[in-house]
Amino acid sequence: MQAVRILLLATLALAGRASAAPVIQVPEGGRPVEVVSRGVVCGPLRGGWSLGADGRSVQPPAKADEGERRLDLTVAESAGLCDTSELTVTVIATGAFPRIDAAATTFYPDDGRVELKGTNLLNVSIAWSGAPRGAPRRGPPDGQDVCLTPSSGKGPADCAVPVAPGLPTDAALYWVPPHGRWGPDVTTYDANGDVVDPETQRLRPGRVILTQPLVLSSGIDVSKGPGSVAVSHPEAIATADCGLARCEVGEGALLVRNVPGVDATIPLRLRLTPRVLFARGEALENTVSATLSVLACPLTAMEGTVLRDAENSGLVVRLDPVCAHDPRALSWTVNNQRVRVERVVKTAEGTHVLLRTGGTSDPQVTITAMTSRHEGTVVASETAKTVPVPVPRAVLELPGHGPIDFVPTNRPAEARVASAAGPGRFVFHSRAGAYGVTTRDATVLVQGESTAGGFVALRFGYQLPTLPGELATVDLTHVDERVQRLVREASVPARVDSLFEFVCADKDGKDQTLEPSRPHRLSYEMRNTCRVIVHRERLTPEEGNQEVQLRISVTRPDGSARGESHVDQRMFLRPRGDQRVIPIPGNLGQYDRILIQVSHVADEARYALSTTDRTGLPSAQWTATVKGGLFRLYTTAAIPAGLYRATEPTGQLAINFGVLSRLALLNDEGQERLLGIELGLMGMGLVPQSGDIQFPPTLAVVAGLGLRVPIGPGAAVGANAWVAREFRGDIQRKTNGDPNVNPVVPSSRWSFVFGPSISVGNVGFNL
């Protein structure tokens, strides 16, 4: 790969030196571009290049061969001078323009590389312009190198392109399309045939990372006037703070003035310009600190950091500002046990040193610092009392559902921890194989791993926010919660109306989804197309498993249940399952009412239910009625308890029974309205009555109106008014033995009767 890079760079260099002719470059497959404004391009062209009809423009090949990407074209003032013309123009078919994410691009001037991120990076070149400052020149001031091996895989690719080491942080960087060139004699066109402004090819990396020491001096000599501190990148320094001294940025160095004495420590703090960071191990910092002298110092243990009964605990001590001993070069002990220096932070108050110990149960400790330069002499010592570690108290809560006592695996829970006693604080920490901790909008989220199970105690880091700088976020020790929590899935009651659909066909046979909590009317012809669709695929893993009860009931117009259509099913729904269709069973009739009810099974062991909001679990209900006729014609048995004959001779007709045909208007629910037309055969006066007038048992054809009020399935009470044609014998009157009294009462065979009745049965059909 190195040989390929050398060959490509040599080709670019030789081509640039050998040709002083203009260079026109355009992406392969692009539109024709003008090569000369006057004259003609001498043809013919090879390698898929084509000459335009105007003779001055050319079009690159759709896919250029590697050997035919670059052509040296002869141009002349006219076609007749092509054989003698020595004027040439170089055309290059570049690859497709890259799409570089400048914000994700990193420039390492000390290492001499640019890390690109984007697409179409293969064979993309980086050109630079700028000479190293503050250090001997290690490369040419201008150059160009190429990306040969971008990363593969989905999404944007990464590619590291070498540049001259030691470039300034503000060096001008430009991207060059694949197989293209860079220079003042190069004109670049895009695929649309438009000239590309070179400034648009300017690459401004999102980060510039310095990897070599910024401060090149280990000390400062002020005996002969203003001191100077050599720095590698003065252009990267925004501000310089030298404590009590005064410093300013010069050419290639920092100038230090007003140093308060030769024994003083000069704390140097450099703040870098925006986008420029300094790599200190794995950390990237915008400030660089250094101490330019050595000084023995008093030692102070920071309050609240000397912990008792804490394993692998850290304690923080502060060296006085007059001390310039390198804390990492000192030998530290706590109660005569060697400890290591983990971090050092320098502030105006002094140098804070984080010492990592193995822990102690003693009520006090003695901290000692020795230096081998002074033959093991103790240069600092402090005795401090230990304090116990506070006990953390954590609360996990699902937003909108209240606190929970377990660690959910399918969705994050918001986590809070009670403030520790004193100035300290607890922060959540992940436990590999059990749960992870993330932060979103300043809210801590805890979520168990999908493969985890059993119980786990939450782990916390104990920190002291009053410590300076990065020490404020360093864990002094780790503490486990005193209770263990179950790691399991959190099932949150989902909206059942989004998981279940009630679908029926309309009169045209097209499916329509019926909304819940609204009455619907179904076409009779499509009554058997109704079905319930269970959308298990809509259930997200964050909602967890759901347990629901599905009830389907169908009632006839008279209120009786249609048993064959009844469904009562308890369902267990898993996320991302398959869709399930449940048809409404049975053969539905006119005005049958379909009722579908879906509700969650109340199970606090399964669902994460709010402890404060008990408004009930989500549920849904659908109702639909099958359309039917406007009228109902049916036969019923009528028992008028007592009919009154209004036609002379009038009288009461006791115990009547007959069969009626009734035509009644139906309402929207299939219930017959109160008033109907009746026609039938009635036996009247079946039991003789006491009185002067004796009505014989009569068979009559009746017709008229009836008022009917249902009292149960197939039964009703009402009032009737009929015109009757009677088939009977003569109506008699009592003579009491008087021969002058005619026993036969003159009467008509037509009469008008009315009275209350009870009817049983409803055998008929709708019209």
Distance CA 122, CA 127 (A): 15
Q: What percent of the chain has a predicted confidence (pLDDT) above 70?
A: 88
- Split at pLDDT 50, 70, 90, the class of 18 is very low
**pLDDT the model gives residue 9:** 47
- Statement: residue 407 has pLDDT above 80: yes
What 3-state DSSP class applies to 235?
helix
pLDDT-above-90 percentage for the chain: 31
Q: What is the C-alpha separation between 642 and 655, in angstroms, rounded?
A: 6
pLDDT category at 147 given cuts 50, 70, 90 is very high
Choose the weakest-confidence range: 5-14, 249-258, 386-395. Answer: 5-14
Residue 280: pLDDT band with limits 50, 70, 90: confident
Lowest mean pLDDT among 178-192, 256-270, 498-512, 652-666: 256-270
Nearest to 152 by CA among 119, 123, 181: 119
Tokens standing for 764? Answer: 């008929």
Banded model confidence at residue 615, pLDDT cuts 50, 70, 90: low
Q: Is the pLDDT assigned to residue 616 strictly greater than 80?
A: no
The SS3 of residue 726 is strand
* pLDDT > 80? residue 501: yes
CA–CA separation, 55 vs 42, rounded Å?
Answer: 8
Q: Is the Cβ–Cβ distance between 428 and 458 less than 8 Å? A: yes
Please state the rounded mean pLDDT for residues 509-527.
88
**pLDDT at site 118:** 92
* Strand, coil or helix: 470: helix
DSSP 508-569: TS-EEEEPTTSEEEE-GGGGGG-EEEE-GGG--TTT--EEEEEEEEEE-TTS-B-GGG-EEE
Q: Cα–Cα distances in Å, from 295 out to 246, 258, 305, 322, 711?
A: 20, 19, 25, 6, 107
Predicted confidence (pLDDT) at residue 314 exceeds the cutoff of 50: yes
How confident is the model at residue 295, as a pLDDT? 39
Q: Is the pLDDT of residue 221 over 70?
A: no
**Cβ-based burial of 343 (10 A; exposed 0-12, middle 13-18, buried ≥19):** middle
Contacts of 690 (CB under 8 A, 6+ apart): none
Three-state SS at 371: strand
Average pLDDT of the chain to the nearest whole number = 84
**How many Å apart are CA 490 and CA 522, to the nearest integer?**
40
**Count of CB atoms situated within 10 Å of the CB of 137:** 12
CA atoms within 13 A on the CB side of 663: 7
Q: What is the dihedral of CA 172, 178, 179, 184, to 10 degrees?
A: -30
Let me know how long the chain is: 767
Q: For residues 418-431, give the mean pLDDT.
A: 82
First-residue to last-residue Cα distance in the chain: 90
Mean pLDDT of 35-57: 87
As given in the structure block, the two tokens for residue 232 are 């590698």
Does 649 sit behind a cis peptide bond, omega within 30 degrees of 0 on the bond before it?
A: yes
At 258 the pLDDT is 59
Residue identified by tokens 């991302």 is: 576
Mean pLDDT within 434-454: 91
* 643-653 per-position pLDDT tens digit: 888 888 888 88
Is the pLDDT at 261 greater than 50? The verdict is: no
At 608 the pLDDT is: 72
Would you place residue 399 in the very low, low, confident or very high pLDDT band (cuts 50, 70, 90)? confident
Overall average pLDDT of the 585-605 stretch: 86
CA-nearest of 196, 185, 193 to 90 is: 185
Model-level pTM?
0.48
Q: Output the pLDDT for position 16.
A: 46
pLDDT tens column, 321-376: 877 668 888 888 898 888 999 999 998 888 899 999 988 888 899 888 776 544 44
pLDDT of residue 133: 55
State residue 654's pLDDT score.
Answer: 83
**Nearest one of 324, 313, 425, 318 to 358, comparing CA atoms:** 313
Listed as own residue / partner, the contacts of 225-228 with beta carbons closer than 8 Å and 24 or more positions apart are: 226/255, 226/256, 226/257, 227/255, 227/256, 227/257, 227/259, 228/253, 228/254, 228/255, 228/256
Cβ atoms of 537 and 578 within 8 Å: the answer is yes
d(CA 270, CA 288): 5
Backbone angles phi, psi at 618, to 5 degrees: -60, 140
Quote the CA–CA distance of 509 and 447 in Å, as a whole number: 48
Report DSSP state, residue 330. Answer: S
Strand blocks (E) in 357-508: 364-371, 377-385, 387-388, 394-398, 402-404, 406-408, 413-417, 425-429, 435-440, 443-448, 455-456, 459-463, 477-480, 485-488, 500-505
Among 99, 76, 100, 102, residue whose Cα is nearest residue 87: 76
- Find the mean pLDDT for residues 214-236: 68
Q: Which of 138-142, 303-307, 522-526 has the lowest mean pLDDT?
A: 138-142
> What residues form DSSP beta bridges with 715?
712, 760
Separation of alpha carbons 164 and 166, rounded Å:
6
* 3-state SS, one letter per residue, for 404-417: ECEEECCCCEEEEE
Question: For the ranges 77-91, 106-120, 252-266, which has the lowest average pLDDT?
Answer: 252-266
- Of the two residues 610 and 27, the one the predictor is more confident about is 27
Residues 360 and 386: beta-carbon distance below 8 Å: yes
Q: How far apart are CA 653 and CA 640, in angstroms?
A: 9
Identify the pLDDT of residue 294.
Answer: 34
CB 256 within 8 A of CB 240: no
Rg of the Cα atoms in the chain: 49
- Distance from the Cα of residue 650 to its chain's centroid: 87
Secondary element (H or E) of residue 744? strand 744-745
Side-chain-side CA neighbours of residue 347 (13 Å): 13
- DSSP code string of 8-52: HHHHHHHHHHH--S-EEEEETT---EES-SSSEE-S---TT-EE-
If pLDDT is split at 50, 70 and 90, which confidence band does 134 have? very low
- Cα angle at 195 between 190 and 199, to 5 degrees? 100
Cα–Cα–Cα angle for 635, 640, 641, nearest 5°?
Answer: 150
User: For residue 209, is pLDDT > 80?
Assistant: yes
Confidence class for position 427, pLDDT limits 50, 70, 90: very high
Q: What percent of the residues of the chain are helix, what percent strand, and what percent coil, each to the nearest 5?
A: 10, 45, 45
What CA–CA distance (Å, rounded) separates 383 from 363? 11
Residue 328 per-residue DSSP state? G
Of the candidates 281, 286, 257, 255, which has an alpha carbon nearest to the alpha carbon of residue 270? 286
pLDDT at 491 over 80: yes
> Is 210 in a helix, a strand, or coil?
strand
- Say whether pLDDT at 423 is over 90: no
Matching residue, tokens 């249902």: 710
The secondary structure of 92-128 as a DSSP string is EEE-PPPEE-GGG-EEETTTTEEEEEEES-TT-EEEE
DSSP secondary structure of 245-264: SEEEE-SSEEEEE----TT-
